[in-house]
Amino acid sequence: MSESRALAVGGERYAPFQLRIPRSHLPGLIFAVAAWLLIVAFAEPFGRLWGTGQDARCYWLPTLAAPYINAAWTSPTAYVYSPAFLQLVSPLTALPWQVFMAIWTAILLGALAFLTGPRLLAWGVVFAAMELAGGNISLLLAVAIVLGFRWPATWAFVILTKVTPGVGLLWFAVRGEWRSLGIALGATLAVVAGSAFLLPHAWAEWFGVLEGAVGRGGTWAAIPVPFIARLPIAVAVVVWGARTNRRWAVPVASMIALPALWYGGLSMLLAILPLRAGGGIDQSGAVSAFGRTARRLGWLSGSGA
C-alpha cells in the first residue's frame, strides 16, 4: 500500500474503507432501490385500486389464532397457504403494515438479485415488476427450487405454500435420486409435524381449504388455462428435463403447475438464469458450484462481462 493511500492514527497505518460499485452494477442497483421506494410508498392495507402489496396483505392480515377466517381462494386478502408458512412469517406480520412491506419487499428484491445477478438485475426488476408490486412469493419459490438441487429440504417451502409446483420433485424420482427425494419429503413431513403440534386445528382447516380450491380457476390476473390442462404439460417438461439433464426445466415445470398461472408467477422463469449459468448448486462440490454460478452472474470478482 502506498504512503499516500494510508492514514496514520496512533502510530498505526490503515487503509480507509472504500465502497466501489462497478458501473455495470449501477443500473440494477438504481432500479432495485427505485422499485423498493415506490412499492413501499404506495403500499396500503386496504386494497385500493392503485395500491401495492395486494398479495402481501394476505400474509399480513391473518392471525395464528384464526388463520383461515378468510380463505375463499382468489378473494381479496384470502390466506390459503399452510399454517407453517404463517408461523414462519409471523414475526414480520406483527409489525406495522408499512414496516412489514419495507422488509418484505427487500426480501423479494434480494431473491430477485440472487436469481439475476447484478448485470441483469435491472431487467429482472422490469420482468418481475408485477410480482414485486403484488408481494407474492413466486421469486421465493424460484430460489427454493434452485437451492433444492443441493439442499432438497428447501422443497418443503414449495410444497407447504403453493403445493402443486411440487411436481418438480419428479426430477429426483426420474433420475433415481431417492435420497434427495427422501430428504425433500422428510423435511416437509418434519415441518408439518412441528407445525401441527403447535396448531393442530389450523392444519385440519387447511386441508378443507385445499379441498374447496380444487377445480377453481384464477382471476383476470391469471393466464386462462385450467390447471387440469397444464398439469400433464408440467409433468412432461420435468421428466424431459430429468432425462436430458436440463435442470432449468424444473422451475419451468413448477411454474406451469401453479394452482393458477398468475402473470406474476412468470417471474419463476428467472430461475433459469442461475441454473443455466452454473448448472445449479450440485450435491457434490457445492461451494465451488455456488461460486461458479455467482461469478457467472457477476456477484463475485473475476466474472465475465
Q: Tens digits of per-residue pLDDT, 178-221?
A: 999 999 999 999 999 999 999 999 999 998 888 776 656 656 66
Q: Residue 250 is which amino acid? A: V
pLDDT digit string (tens) for 31-47?
A: 999 999 999 999 876 65
Under the banding of pLDDT at 50, 70 and 90, the label for residue 151 is very high
| Cell 427454493, located at residue | 144
Q: Pick the more confident residue, 300 or 52.
A: 52
Q: What per-residue confidence (pLDDT) applies to 3? A: 46
Q: Which residues contact 67 (CB under 8 A, 6 or more apart)?
A: 79, 83, 86, 199, 202, 205, 206
- Is the pLDDT at 291 greater than 60, yes or no? no
pLDDT beyond 90 at 145 = yes
**pLDDT over 50 (residue 286):** no
**Predicted TM-score of the model (pTM):** 0.84
Per-residue pLDDT reduced to its tens digit, 254-282: 999 999 888 889 999 999 999 986 544 44
Q: Mind listing the pLDDT tens digit for each residue in 103-136?
A: 999 999 999 999 999 989 999 999 999 999 999 9
Tens of pLDDT, residues 5-29: 444 445 555 445 455 677 778 888 9
Average pLDDT score over residue span 222-249: 93
Grid coordinates of 108? 423479494
Residues 116 and 32: their CA atoms lie apart, in Å, by: 12
Q: Which residues contact 293 (CB under 8 A, 6 or more apart)?
A: 274, 277, 278, 279, 280, 281
CA angle 257, 258, 260 (to 5 degrees): 120
Res 288 pLDDT > 60: no
Q: How far is CA 196 from CA 35, 80, 88, 101, 300, in A?
A: 37, 16, 13, 28, 41
Q: Is 9 helix (H, G, I), strand (E, B) or coil?
A: strand
DSSP, collapsed to helix, strand or coil, labels residue 248 as coil
Rounded Cα distance, 53 and 134, in Å = 4
Return d(Cα 117, Cα 15) in angstroms, integer. 29
**Distance of alpha carbon 121 from alpha carbon 134, whole angstroms:** 18
- Amino acid identity at 242: A
Confidence of residue 71 (pLDDT cuts 50, 70, 90): confident
Question: 200-213 and 178-198 helices cross at what angle (nearest 10)?
Answer: 120
- Percentage of the chain beyond pLDDT 90 is 60
Q: How far is CA 6 from CA 11, 13, 16, 79, 164, in A?
A: 12, 6, 7, 57, 58
- What is the spatial distance between Cα 28 and Cα 278, in angstroms, rounded to a whole number? 21
Provide the mean pLDDT of the chain.
Answer: 84
Percentage of the chain modeled with pLDDT above 70:
78
